[in-house]
Amino acid sequence: MQTQRAIINVSMPPAMAKRVTKLAKEENRTKSELLREAFRSYEFKRDWAKIRVWGKETARKMNIKTYDDVERIAG
């Protein structure tokens, strides 16, 4: 079964492109695999940053400052 792919052209400084090529070779992967993983990592970190903001806002609204406060609220 063939997987469909979208091709996205990315520009970067030549020095960065060399580092991408070198790292891909060192890890025996394609540049595409390396950049897909970089995107997944970025997306994961971004999602967790949103969750942390939500958690801080919720803690502020509920006056949660310690783990004891969490236990008190959670019961």
Q: Name the pTM for this structure.
A: 0.73
In 3D space, the residue among 38, 40, 39, 17 whose CA is nearest the CA of residue 25 turns out to be: 17
Give the count of domains, the chain. Answer: 1
In Å, how far from its chain's centre is CA 61? Answer: 27
Residue 26 belongs to domain spanning:
14-74
In a domain, 23, yes or no: yes
Model confidence pLDDT, tens digit, residues 41-56: 999 999 999 999 999 9
Q: Please indicate, yes or no, if residue 6 is contained in any of the structural domains.
A: no
pLDDT digits (tens, 9 = 90+) for 6-62: 999 999 999 999 999 999 999 999 999 999 999 999 999 999 999 999 999 999 999
